[in-house]
């Protein structure tokens, strides 16, 4: 007697039929930590929400801030064929990242590289600083509210040399970085120069066919890579 073999197309999405692999999860705006917390409640799901502790310049002075390395994204490791739907409809999750009919798998080496890079950065003080030629605003003192241009930054002194326009004349001055406001950079931009060597020569993404019929989200491809 012949027996029919029933196979599920979703079970063929991953090259490791019952294994867990890493995927990128897009969250709702500024909800990375909330999505990560809910995903951790699902049995069989491991979550990685990379964050950095930064020293930011604000109008109240320099303050510490914990920020996501990839705003609006977290990583989750799970068995795609069993948990795709549950992960997709988790609170604060917008979608599992996909490009057309492909769901990218993130190699373990990439996640491990990120983790190692963050461990190395944890021993350093990461600060956001302006760059030469950038326009800044003076936040305190006699010239508070005035605009100036950065000549150079002195990281060891945590100071900046600026060029200030006073009564039609360009006057050089030196200020503490605590006293200047400038365009805010995200955590990834600040850390990039220190962690980019981690990824040299490593594969980034592999993809699996998606048979769920969800729409693509190509815009995040350029952002993550």
Encode pLDDT of 53-87 as tens digits: 887 766 677 778 888 989 999 999 999 999 999 99
**What pLDDT is recorded for position 123?**
72
Structural contact between residues 84 and 10, judged by C-beta atoms closer than 8 angstroms: yes
> At 211, is the pLDDT very low, low, confident or very high (cuts 50, 70, 90)?
very low
What pTM was estimated for this model as a whole?
A: 0.62
**What pLDDT is recorded for position 223?**
34
Fold observed for domain 135-181: SH3 type barrels. (2.30.30)
Q: What are phi and psi of 222, to 5 degrees?
A: -65, -35
Domain boundaries, the chain: 9-128+185-224, 135-181
**What pLDDT is recorded for position 217?**
39
What are the helix (H) ranges across the chain? 32-39, 80-88, 108-121, 187-195, 219-224
Do the domains spanning 9-128+185-224 and 135-181 agree at the CATH topology level?
no
Instruction: Classify domain 9-128+185-224 at the CATH superfamily level.
Output: NusG, N-terminal domain (3.30.70.940)
Number of H helices, E strands in the chain: 5, 14
Residue 60 Cα distances to 36, 78, 139, angstroms = 30, 43, 9
DSSP letter at 11?
G
pLDDT digits (tens, 9 = 90+) for 101-113: 899 999 999 999 9
């Amino acid at each position: 007697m012949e027996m029919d073999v029933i196979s599920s197309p979703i079970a063929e999405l991953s090259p490791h039929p019952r294994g867990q692999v890493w995927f990128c999860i897009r969250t709702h705006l500024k909800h990375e930590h909330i999505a990560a917390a809910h995903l951790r409640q699902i049995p069989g799901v491991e979550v990685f929400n990379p964050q950095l502790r930064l020293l930011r310049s604000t109008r109240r002075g320099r303050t510490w801030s914990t920020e996501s390395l990839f705003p609006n994204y977290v990583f989750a490791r799970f068995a795609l064929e069993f948990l795709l739907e549950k992960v997709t409809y988790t609170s604060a999750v917008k979608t599992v990242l996909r490009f057309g009919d492909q769901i990218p798998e993130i190699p373990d080496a990439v996640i491990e590289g990120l983790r190692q890079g963050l461990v190395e950065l944890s021993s350093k003080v990461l600060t956001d600083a302006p760059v030469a030629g950038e326009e800044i605003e003076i936040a305190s003192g006699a010239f508070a509210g005035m605009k100036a241009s950065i000549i150079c930054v002195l990281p060891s002194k945590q100071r900046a040399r600026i060029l200030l326009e006073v009564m039609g004349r360009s006057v050089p001055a030196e200020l503490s970085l605590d006293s200047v406001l400038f365009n805010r950079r995200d955590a990834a931009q600040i850390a990039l120069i220190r962690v980019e060597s981690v990824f040299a020569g490593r594969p980034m993404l592999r993809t699996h066919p998606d048979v769920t019929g969800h729409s693509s989200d190509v815009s995040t491809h350029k952002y993550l890579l």
